Amino acid sequence: MPGSIASFIIGVSSIFLAYYLAAVGHGLMEKSGVLNLAIDGVFTLGVAVAFAISVYTFSVPLAIFIAMIVAALFGLMLAFITTKLPISHGAAGLSTMFLGYGLAALVGLPARQLQINGRSLATIQPSLGGTWIWFYVVAFAVAVGVWCLVEKTKIGAAIRAAGENPASAEALGVNVLAVRLFASGVGYALIGIGAALFELAYTQVWSQGAGMGYGWIAFAISLSAGRHPILILISAMIFAVLDKYRFLIAAIYNLPPDVGKMLPFVAAIAAMIIFMVTPLRRKLAPPKSLGKIYFREERSV
Partner 1 sequence: MVIIRRVKPLPYWIIPIIALLAGIAISVIILYVLMGASPAAVLSAIVYGFTRPGVVAKTFVALTIVGIALLVSFKGSIWNIGGEGQITFGLMAATWVALFTALPYINPGLAQASMILLAMVAGGVWALLAALPRAYLGLDEVPVTLIMNYIAYYIVDILVRGPWLGKHVYNYIRTDTIPSQVMFPQVPGTTMTWDGLLLLIILLIGVWYLLKNTSIGLRIKILGNNPNLLRSSGISVPLMIIVALTISGIIAGSVGALYLGGDVYRISYPIEVHTANYGYTGILVAWLSMLELIAVPIAAYIVSALYTAGIQYQILVGGHLGQLITAGSAIVDVFIGSILLMYTILITISEYKIRIIVKKR
Closer CB to partner 1, 90 or 130, in the complex:
90
The answer to whether residue 163 forms part of the interface with partner 1 (CB under 8 A) is: no
Asked if 211 contacts 232 with a C-beta cutoff of 8 angstroms, the reply is no
Minimum distance between the CB of residue 102 and partner 1, rounded to whole angstroms? 3
Q: Which is nearer to partner 1, 103 or 195 (CB)?
A: 103
Residue 261 interacts with partner 1 (CB under 8 A): yes or no: yes
Q: Which of residues 188-217 bind partner 1 (CB under 8 A)?
A: 208-209, 213, 216
CA distance 160 to 174: 11
- Number of residues forming the site for partner 1 (CB under 8 A): 54
Question: Of 61 and 86, which CB lies nearer to partner 1 in the complex structure?
Answer: 86
> Interface with partner 1 includes 76 (CB under 8 A)?
no
Cβ 221 to partner 1 shortest distance, Å: 11
- Can you tell me the distance from the alpha carbon of 26 to that of 74, in angstroms, rounded to the nearest whole number? 13
Distance CA 126, CA 106 (A): 29
Candidate list 241, 262, 280, 284; residue touching partner 1; CB under 8 A:
262
Q: Give dist(CA 229, CA 146) in Å, integer.
A: 6
User: Which of 18, 4, 27, 28 is CA-nearest to residue 179?
Assistant: 28
CB of 205 to partner 1, least distance (A): 14
- The contact mask relative to partner 1 for 34-63 (x = CB under 8 A, - = no) is ---x--xx----------------------
Q: Which stretch binds partner 1 (CB under 8 A): 26-34, 53-61, 147-155, 270-278?
A: 270-278
Provide the mask over 103-122, with x wherever binding to partner 1 is found by CB under 8 A and - wherever it is not. Answer: xxxxx-xx-xx--x------
Helix axes 214-224, 39-57, angle to 10 degrees: 130
Residue 134 vs 265, nearer CB to partner 1: 265
Query: Which amino acid type is present at position 133?
Result: I
Is the Cβ–Cβ distance between 292 and 82 less than 8 Å? no
Closer residue to partner 1 (CB): 48 or 159: 48
Does residue 6 bind partner 1 (CB under 8 A)?
Answer: no
233 binds partner 1, rule: CB under 8 A: no
Closer residue to partner 1, CB minimum distance, 95 or 153: 95
Of positions 265, 280, 284, 292, contacts partner 1 by CB under 8 A = 265
The answer to whether the Cα torsion of 192, 194, 200, 205 is positive or negative is negative
Q: Which of 26, 31, 14 has its CA nearest to residue 189? A: 26
Alpha-helix residue ranges (DSSP H) falling in the chain: 2-31, 39-57, 60-84, 89-116, 131-152, 154-164, 166-171, 176-197, 214-224, 231-252, 257-277, 280-283
